[in-house]
Amino acid sequence: MRYYRGYLRVALTGFSPERFLNLCMANQIIIWNLRYREQGYEFCITLSDYRRIRPLARKAGVHLKLKGRYGLPFFLHRNRYRKWYAVGVACFFLILFVMSRFIWNISLEGNYRFTDDMLLHYLDTRQVRYGSPKHQIDCDLLEESIRSQYPEILWVSARISGTRLLIKVKENEVIGAMPTKEDAPRDLVAEKGGTITEILVRQGRCMVKKGDVVEAGSLLVSGRIPILNDAEEEVGCRYVRADADIRLRTSQSFRESIPRLVTEKAYTKQVRHGIRLRMFHYDLICLLPGSAETQWEITEESHQAVLLGDFYLPVWWSRITAREYGTYQRIRRPDELDALKEQINNAKIQNLMQKGVQIIENNVKILDKSTHWVVQGDFILEEPVGVGQNIKQEEEQEQPDERNGNHN
């Protein structure tokens, strides 16, 4: 408020400055930044209070001298003849007003399964993008459309704050929808070979037992149930949807090669810095020139211009750092080989565990070849087995009686 009203810096000299300061305190005149100088004091005072202290200065026998004028009134007075300056300031605020009518930042929160790129692409199909007019965005309709497009999203909140569109979502932690129940008859067959370790049949006729060795495509549980008479003769059948829990012990191997040589970077002390300015779709890059014969690693840290919290502008600036480096090759160290072996083995184990496979035995070793190394692993697994295969029901058709002879 002192800047908008204007204030002065005043030099105080005379025989009794202490009496003048006491008179100012008695008349509730506020001064600040009071400092002692060789010939007196200096302080700051508002423009309105300066007019009130002149009688007090005569009464105390001191002299006042202006040392500086500060604040908006003096600034406007000094620039009263600069018309283009006023036009520039007016245009600046006019541009800010126009920019405030558009969306220049879209923030997404709470999305994990659906990435930012996926949601931004969908918003783009709904004509919601950077630079969209705010009056064309219906937040309620946008929330409903997102929930309809992505049923896995339970809750959506969209609101506009300044020039920012903030979308918060809550995803369903239960994956997928309820599966449709199928009643078509089927058999269960093995999709791979191995030894049966467990079998529990809920529906159907079991064709194997524990300890049997089966091959890929072998029938495990039949969906055809024969109907027998008292003489153990088949007089008919009925078809069901075979269902069972079957576990199979199998073996699995993998081989992955590792190059003997690894390429690494060796950085030099040469570093270049630059800036990048982007407004709308236009870029301006300022970077010190470097030798085209050398290699440079360029990193960029980007920021968007923002005023007053959520007032984003279509201006981005980046700091660019370029570091010179060279490449060379070296032989991998034993500790690096062990780390790579563990990394490959853990990735295989993680993949198997996600499929519900139980690992009984795991043997991993590194084979030294002339040009490379080979990571070889052998697993003994116990996993669920049994894939449905539809069966065609047999239809019994009555054969019509054939009549021989003609009626005259």
Among the listed ranges 41-55, 56-70, 164-178, which one has the minimum average pLDDT value? 164-178
Same-domain pairing of 324 and 346: no
CATH number, domain with residue 23: 3.30.70.260
Contact 8, 52 (CB under 8 A): no
**84 part of a folded domain:** no
> Nearest 5°: CA angle at 11, between 5 and 17?
110
User: Phi-psi bin for 80: left (phi > 0), alpha (psi -120 to 50), beta?
Assistant: alpha
Same-domain pairing of 6 and 72: yes
Same-domain pairing of 344 and 376: yes
CATH number, domain with residue 161: 3.10.20.310
Please write the tens of the pLDDT for every residue from 381-393: 999 999 988 887 6
Provide mean pLDDT across the span 46-75.
Answer: 88
**182 part of a folded domain:** no
Range of the domain at 224: 187-247
Kindly tell me if the per-residue pLDDT of 229 is higher than 70: yes
- Amino acid occupying residue 180: T
**98 part of a folded domain:** no
How many domains is the chain partitioned into structurally? Answer: 5
pLDDT range class, residue 175, cuts 50, 70, 90:
low
Whole-angstrom Cα distance, residue 127 to residue 165?
13
Please write the tens of the pLDDT for every residue from 304-327: 998 878 899 899 999 999 999 999
Same-domain pairing of 315 and 344: no
Looking at every residue in the chain, the average pLDDT score rounds to 86
Determine what percent of the chain is predicted with pLDDT higher than 70. Answer: 93
**178 part of a folded domain:** no
Kindly tell me if the per-residue pLDDT of 23 is higher than 70: yes
**407 part of a folded domain:** no
**55 part of a folded domain:** yes
Provide mean pLDDT across the span 135-158.
Answer: 91
pLDDT at 194: 92
Same-domain pairing of 49 and 112: no
Which of the listed residues 298, 331, 364 is the one where a domain comes to its end? Answer: 331
Kindly tell me if the per-residue pLDDT of 408 is higher than 70: no
User: Phi-psi bin for 211: left (phi > 0), alpha (psi -120 to 50), beta?
Assistant: left
Return the bridge partners of 358, or none. Answer: 382
Which of the listed residues 314, 331, 348 is the one where a domain comes to its end? Answer: 331
Task: Quote the tokens at residue 31.
Answer: 């001064």
Contact 318, 301 (CB under 8 A): yes
pLDDT range class, residue 181, cuts 50, 70, 90:
low
pLDDT at 399: 38
Same-domain pairing of 316 and 349: no
**315 part of a folded domain:** yes
pLDDT range class, residue 401, cuts 50, 70, 90:
very low
Contact 193, 214 (CB under 8 A): yes
pLDDT at 395: 45
Whole-angstrom Cα distance, residue 255 to residue 364?
10
Same-domain pairing of 199 and 141: no
Give the 3-state secondary structure of residue 196.
strand
Please give the span between the terminal C-alpha atoms of the chain, in angstroms, as a whole number.
127
Contact 162, 99 (CB under 8 A): no
- Amino acid occupying residue 45: I
| Spatial CB neighbours of 395, under 8 Å, sequence gap ≥ 6 | none
Task: Quote the tokens at residue 342.
Answer: 């563990």
Q: pTM for the full model? A: 0.54
Kindly tell me if the per-residue pLDDT of 106 is higher than 90: yes
Whole-angstrom Cα distance, residue 163 to residue 303?
16
Which of the listed residues 223, 247, 271 is the one where a domain comes to its end? Answer: 247
Q: For residues 322 and 2, which has the higher predicted lDDT (pLDDT)?
A: 322
**111 part of a folded domain:** yes
Whole-angstrom Cα distance, residue 126 to residue 165?
14
Nearest to 279 by CA among 62, 127, 68, 131: 131
User: Phi-psi bin for 112: left (phi > 0), alpha (psi -120 to 50), beta?
Assistant: alpha
